[in-house]
Amino acid sequence: MDVQAAVNIQRLRLRTSNTLLQRSDADDDLASAPDAPQHVIVVEDDAGIRMLLVRILRENGYDASGVADGAMLRELMAARPVDLILLDIMLPGENGLDLCGAIREHSTVPIIMVSARGEEADRVAGLEVGADDYIAKPFGRSELLARVRAQLRRATCFARPAGTDASEWLIFAGYRFNIRHRELLAPSGAEVELSGAEQDLLLSLLRHPQRVIGRERLLELSRTRIRNSSDRSVDVLVSRLRRKLGDGRRPRPMIRTIRGVGYMLAVDVEAG
């Protein structure tokens, strides 16, 4: 292993411990100010959907406001701080992708892209311009709330020191995982498809390499996509991920089971 890689790993470990530290800080903040609702802006040109989304978000304790286009969004963002934007791609005038790119120039606010086309190209384009997540119409209430919750939690839990988000790839045992596109490439360069939950799980493991993570903690970190959350579903998820990573063929599996505690990613992770 060369010096640069070693330095990278060292940095990554430092960052990981920062992250964990910050998480507890954030938890304290939330605990001290429990009744400050988070502000979510819904950008949607269909009045009916906009009204319903705002209503559902409000019923679930968020401070939601709806706008119909980019101009109104800018106005509102100038007037009030915002914690999350739900951004439709098909908008009159400036479309959602352009708008997302424009917001990213001066803000790191979490953005969830919404598209009615449900095409792979839309998802990639959205992530490309800096969106954090992507949801395809028509979606249900629970899916919406899960995504919103996940993004808000990520924004607070995983808030990282500025400037460290530059690395897009996490490299381990020849595999490369793209954080932004949530894409896993095998050592041969082949794309390995992962379900959303498996992506979250892998990312959680990659961010804490060589450390034992308890089942509950793993569940918490990855909760976003696991529906019927239970210890068992984590085990199922881990075994699915192992199969796709070819762990069954290895004498020493990458993801190790620590009996009675949880799991550990037993390989080094480099940022690249």
Partner 1 sequence: MDWRRWLPRSMIGRIGVVLLFALLLELAGNLLLFERSERDLLSADRTQRFAEQLLVAERVLSDVEPASRARLMHDMRTRDVGLNWVPATVITDASNAQPALERVKARLIAAAPALAGRDLRLNIVRSADSQRRDLLGAFGLTDGGFITFRVTPFLNAPPGVLPTVLLHLAVIGGVVLITMLLAYALVRPLRALAEAANRVGGSDAIAMPQTGPHEVRQLATALGGMQDRLLRIVRDRTEALVALSHDLRTPIQRLRLRASLLDDAEARETMAADLDDMEKFVGSVLAYMRGDEVEAPRLIDLAAVALTLVDQATDAGADIIYAGPDTLEAAVPPIAFKRALSNLIENAVRYGETVHVTLTRVPGIIVVTVEDDGPGIAPEHRADAFAPFRRIDPARGAGGGAGLGLAIVERAVTAMGGHIDLGESALGGLLARIKIPADARRP
> Interface with partner 1 by CB under 8 A: which residues?
46, 48-49, 52-53, 55-56, 59, 116-118, 120, 137-142, 186, 188-195, 227, 240, 243-244, 246, 248-249
Between 126 and 130, name the residue whose CB sits nearer to partner 1: 126
Bridge-partner residues for 63, per DSSP?
Answer: 39
CB of 188 to partner 1, least distance (A): 6
40, containing H or E segment? strand 39-43
Q: How far is the CB of 244 from partner 1 (least distance, A)?
A: 5
Least CB distance to partner 1 at residue 159 (A): 30
Question: Is the Cβ of residue 80 or residue 181 nearer to partner 1 in the bound state?
Answer: 181
For the chain, what percentages of helix, strand and coil (3-state, to nearest 5) are there?
50, 20, 35
Cβ distance to partner 1 smaller for residue 7 or 124: 124
In whole angstroms, the minimum distance from the beta carbon of 186 to partner 1 comes to 6
Largest CA distance in the chain: 58
Phi, psi (degrees; rounded to nearest 5) at 17: -70, -35
**Alpha-carbon distance 53 to 62, whole Å?**
11
Of 48 and 163, CB closest to partner 1: 48
Are 128 and 116 in contact by the 8 Å Cβ rule? The answer is no
If the CB atoms of residues 74 and 137 are measured against partner 1, the closer one turns out to be 137
Chain centroid, CA 183 distance in Å: 13
> Cα Rg for the chain, rounded, in angstroms?
19
Contact 264, 213 (CB under 8 A): yes
